[in-house]
Structure 1
Amino acid sequence: MLLSFRFANHRSFRDEQQLNLTPVYGDGTEAGEPASQAVQVIGVFGANASGKSNCLGALAFMRQMAVQSDRAVEPGVGLSREPFRLDPAVAAQPSQFVVDLLLGGVRHTYGFTIDDERVLEEWLYHYPVGRKRRVFERDGDDFSWGEESGRHNDLEQIAGITAPAALFLSTVARFGHSRPASDPANPQPLHDTYRWFYLTGQGTGTEFGLSAAVHTGWTDIEEMRRVIVDLLQAADVGIIDVLIRPDPSDREALSDPNAQGMLSRLRAAGAAALRPPRIQFAHQGPHRAALLDLHDQSTGTRRLLALGLHAAEMLRTGATMLVDEIDASLHPILTAKLISLFRSPKANPLGSQLIFTSHDAALLGTLDTEEILRRDEIWFVEKDDGGASSLYPLTDFKPRKEGENRQRRYLNGNYGAVPDLSTHLFEQALATRGGSDDAAAE
């Protein structure tokens, strides 16, 4: 579970920013249930090009480094970071990324500092009895270990082969050996921290994650089919059933009588394993159902499928889900229902979290008299005159005693984070110039 995320000098964010997921007003749990130490949902709102995507991108970049840096490094190439480039002096400074996590009921703090060439600093602390204890600290190529790290010789050997541009966390995950996770006397802060990053899921595109979810995220195809059917029927998109089966070309390749021996068949099987199965959708027609392929479905249906399957995978693993522009191609009611899954103790018993960006001001309002998002689940991004983005919560603004129409107040600019449009310049830019062209032609 993510408690907070801090970052600095990443894309449009120049100064250090913090996304704090600590509940401010209580988390709305039922009486007798333990209160959560972090909100389950965060929505980030702002104008176009304000930096919303960069905020999620910073956490996605940190995840990519934590999971893949040991495999992505190339000698002498350095790091592909994206600092704040509008000020050359700032662009030359290091970038920093830090998360506070609650793993197995224990707080962990992990972070690193990088420049264009290498990892400058890296650290991991945990708080098993409420007090800070060092797991490891890294200063360039120098490492120091905490008393509870254990296996110092093993860790020192792995530290010795950690590339300057790679994180120790991802390197130790590849070469380290974990103790049994069920042994509470032997905590595994390195393993648990890496696992949180590994499970965190990111999605941006219209069909993000659909092939991956169909192909690798679900081992039980029938279970996945039931999830898809229930999702589409609940959304009332006119689909009554779904068929999932291997691509016909895979069956033809595997049964080809001209295949030269076992090696050719194994290669065909390997190629088939890399392709997702074919999905067909049964639409009810006037006389009988008609089967249509995925590319025949609307953009909204494909988006719903991708988000729904990805959300189902995150909910059943207790992971954190990142979604840029969650409202793209979806009706506001469907978006609100998807968000509500992460706020429901029944649908989300493992404490999965959803962090998303959106332009849809309707998500700041209510649905069936219930708030779609609570005040401490709403954040804004705004860019200043120097091109630097800043991140701030709705809780910075005092609620109105007579009632607060957040949707209207946001659109009126009371919270900032809205475009500052010039109506005159907007009309002038888009006005037709046919008259001047006709005159020139004469």
Structure 2
Amino acid sequence: MLLNFRAANHRSLRDEQQLQLHAVYDADRPPGTEWQAVPVAGIFGANAAGKSNVVDALRYMARMVVSSHNIAEPDGGVLREPFRLDREAAADPSWFVVDLHLSDVRHTYGFSVDDDAVLQEWLYDYPHGRRRIIFERNGEEVVPGDSQAARELKVIANVTEPNVLFLSMAARSRQPDFRPVYDWFSTGLNFSSGTSPRLSRQTARLLEEADRAPFLLDLLRASDLGIEDFGVERVEAEESPRWATMRSGAGWIVRTDTGHVELRPWVGHRGRDGIVRMSLHEESAGTRALIHQAARLDRTLLRGGTLVIDEVDSSLHPRLTAALIALFQDKATNPHGGQLLFTSHDATLLGRREGEDILRRDQVWFAEKDRYGETSLVPLSDFKPRQDENRERRYLGGSYGGVPLIDDSFAAAVAASRGDDAEDTEAERP
């Protein structure tokens, strides 16, 4: 599980911002669980407040861990996006740190970079509650921990470019102490966008193998979408892929031993004469969004890990979004402690569903941007909320921050400008 994420100098995150996912209130802990972190965390805020930049900072860290050895050119520097609204900050290092709980062991990993190279990097674990140094890096100097095969790591360090993470190189060299953290970034951490129209490979596979996807069928049936079945039709196709068609959700081309086949996903609606198959591009944006997320939701709930969704409520009804969140709050549907981290504008998620809080008090964060364009993250728990208070109403009323401040003169200014335009138009008439 992700216990903590910290980042600084990335996009609108100028100073250190921390997403602390340890449980704060024992009374709010999901019944029957001893999870080391909360299973759900929602980040709320106004448009352009920086919610997505928090998600992007974690995505950037994952991309560096998994791919820095592939994307970095020798002497090519480091691709990053520092805070641009302050000259000093733009030149300062960017840094990223995670605390993870993997296989009952806590791990801490982090690094800092500037435009030229990796400046610092470190990995610790706590197998018996005490810190064990796996390695520490300062510039191009890598110092292995006492338990490490120093000679092997020295060899790896000698072939690690200044702009490449040492963790990436060591994990791919099959160093066992590096694999838990690397594997979490490569397979245990998944990102998605509520606005993406494109099907993932996992979702395509679920649609094609309907008998092996009871979760998706149950989810679609329970969502009151009128869907009773789904599948994929195979049609012989010409060799050239129709990428536009694929992106729209209507189908995609795959190569087989005998040629090319177009896969056309469909969903079945119950009509007066039985089940009627309809192409995905005939479905609503909400239905496509739900199907798009299904495979990642299924995988995270069954295997654990952390799923990050930017704009989780996009195109989905609030009650459906709340139902998806509830799956992560219940040990029966989330046996391995999978986590859902999301951003949203939907204030109804701060309310209740069937008498229960959709989000607990320690599962809510607010992003707010100041007049200098700097984003700050504030947990709801900082406001010491009562368990029974109406958090949706207080949020919309501005008690927690994270809401847009609309000038009262906004409507009057628009009306006045419209009036000026009308007078100009009238004056121009012959």
Scaled by the length of structure 2, what TM-score is found?
0.90
Shift in Å at residue 244 of structure 1?
Answer: 2.1
Q: Say if 1:312 and 1:390 are closer, same or farther in 2 by CA, change over 3 A.
A: same
- Counterpart of 1:194 (choices 182, 201, 205) is 182
2:199 corresponds to 1:210: yes
Residue in structure 2 matched with residue 238 of structure 1 by the alignment: 226
Match of 2:337 among 345, 348, 351: 351
Distance apart, 1:347 and its partner CA? 1.0
Structure 1 pair 215/307, CA: closer, same or farther in 2 (3 Å)?
Answer: closer
Change in Cα spacing, 1:349 to 1:406, as seen in structure 2 (3 Å) is: same
- What corresponds to 2:3 in structure 1? 3
Q: Secondary structure at the match of 1:80?
A: coil
Paired-residue identity, %: 45
Provide the residue aligned with 1:154 in structure 2: 152
Larger strand percent? 2
Provide the rounded CA distance (Å) in 2 between the counterparts of 1:116 and 1:222. Answer: 48
Residue deviations 1:376-399, cap 9 Å, x none?
000001111111010010011122
Cα displacement string for residues 16-61 of structure 1 (whole angstroms, at most 9, x for unaligned residues): 011000101025343xx45221101000000000000001111111
Q: How much has 1:317 moved relative to structure 2?
A: 2.4
Conserved in 1, the CA contact under 8 Å of 2:203 and 2:294? no
Given candidates 311, 333, 336, the residue that maps to 2:319 is 333
CA distance in 1, matches of 2:330, 2:135: 37
Instruction: Name the SS of the counterpart of 1:5 in structure 2.
Output: strand
Report which stretch shifted further, 305-314 or 388-397. Answer: 305-314
Q: CA deviation at 1:220?
A: 8.3
CA distance, structure 2, for counterparts of residue 296 and residue 16 of structure 1 = 45
User: Is contact 1:118-1:165 (8 Å) kept?
Assistant: yes
Going from structure 1 to structure 2, the CA distance change for 1:126 and 1:302 (only over 3 Å counts) comes to same
Q: Quick one: distance in 2 between partners of 1:394 and 1:136?
A: 36
Alignment of structure 1 residues 304-383 onto 2, 5 Å: 304-383=290-369
Q: Does 1:23 align with 2:23?
A: yes
Displacement after TM superposition at 1:109 (Å): 0.4
What is the one-letter code of the residue matched to 1:166? V
Letter in 1 for 2:405: D
CA drift of 1:112 comes to: 0.1
1:193 to partner: Cα distance: 0.3
2:174 paired residue number: 177
SS class of match (1:248): strand
Whether 1:281 aligns to 2:270 is no
Q: Is the 8 A contact 2:194 2:315 kept in 1?
A: no
SS, match of residue 233 in structure 1: helix
Equivalent residue runs for 1:18-417 within 5 Å: 18-26=18-26, 27-30=28-31, 33=32, 35-149=34-148, 151-174=149-172, 176-177=173-174, 188-199=176-187, 200-207=189-196, 210-215=199-204, 221-249=209-237, 268-269=255-256, 277-400=263-386, 403-417=388-402
Aligned counterparts of 1:317 and 1:219: Cα–Cα separation in 2: 19
The CA distance in 2 between the partners of 1:56 and 1:342, in whole Å, is 19
CA distance in 2, matches of 1:80, 1:127: 32
Question: Using the alignment, how far apart are the partners of 1:425 and 1:34 within structure 2?
Answer: 49
> Equivalent residue for 2:407?
422
- Tell me if structure 2 keeps the 8 A contact 1:228–1:242: no
Counterpart AA for 2:229 = D
Corresponding residue SS for 2:200? helix
Distance 1:108 1:191, change over 3 A: same
Cα distance in 2 for residues equivalent to 1:113 and 1:270: 47
Secondary structure (helix, strand or coil) at the match of 2:335 reads coil
Is the contact made by 1:238 and 1:284 (CA closer than 8 Å) also made in structure 2? yes
- Distance in structure 2 (CA, Å) of the matches to 1:146 and 1:43: 37
Which residue in the other structure is 1:438 paired with?
426
Once residues 88 and 168 of structure 2 are traced to their aligned partners in structure 1, the CA distance between those partners, rounded to angstroms, is 30
Q: Which runs of 5+ in 2 are unaligned?
A: 241-253
Distance 1:441 1:219 in 2: 60
- The superposition leaves residues 155-181 of structure 1 with CA deviations (integer Å, 9 ceiling, x where unpaired) of 22121111111111112222x125xxx
| SS, match of residue 231 in structure 1 | helix
Determine helix, strand or coil for the equivalent of 2:146: coil
**Distance of 1:159 and 1:247 partners within structure 2:** 51
Separation (CA, whole Å) in 1 of partners of 2:216 and 2:209: 10
How far apart are the structure 1 equivalents of 2:181 and 2:258?
A: 34
Distance apart, 1:301 and its partner CA = 0.2
- Which of 228-237 and 378-387 deviates more? 228-237
Contact in 2 for aligned 1:207/1:302 (Cα 8 Å): no
Q: Which position in structure 1 is the counterpart of 2:14?
A: 14
2-side partners of 1:319 and 1:208: how far apart?
A: 24
Q: CA offset at residue 208 of structure 1?
A: 5.9
Q: Which moved more, 1:390-399 or 1:363-372?
A: 390-399
* 169 and 419 in structure 1: CA distance in 2 versus 1, 3 angstrom threshold: same
Say whether the 8 Å CA contact 1:81–1:116 is kept in structure 2.
yes
Cross-structure match for 1:182: none
Unaligned runs of at least 5 residues, structure 1: 179-187, 254-266
Q: Is the 2:207–2:265 Cα contact (8 Å) retained in structure 1? A: no
CA distance change for structure 1 residues 352 and 271 in 2, over 3 Å: closer, same or farther? farther
Distance in 1 between the 2:197 and 2:113 partners? 29
Distance of 1:352 and 1:286 partners within structure 2: 40
Q: What is the Cα deviation at residue 126 of structure 1? A: 0.7
Shift of residue 344, structure 1, vs aligned partner: 1.1
- Aligned partner letter, 1:6: R
C-alpha distance in 1, partners of 2:231/2:98? 41
Supply the distance in 2 between the matched residues of 1:45 and 1:130 (Cα, whole angstroms). 34
Q: Distance in 1 between matches of 2:389 and 2:129?
A: 38
Count of residues paired in the alignment:
412
Per the TM alignment, residue 412 of structure 1 is displaced from its structure 2 partner at its CA by: 0.5
Q: Which moved more, 1:329-338 or 1:310-319?
A: 310-319
Query: 2:243 maps to which residue?
Result: none
User: Residues 129 and 247 from structure 1, CA distance in 2 versus in 1: closer, same or farther, beyond 3 angstroms?
Assistant: farther
1:123-163: CA deviation from partner (whole Å, max 9, x where unpaired): 000111111110001111101011222x3222221211111
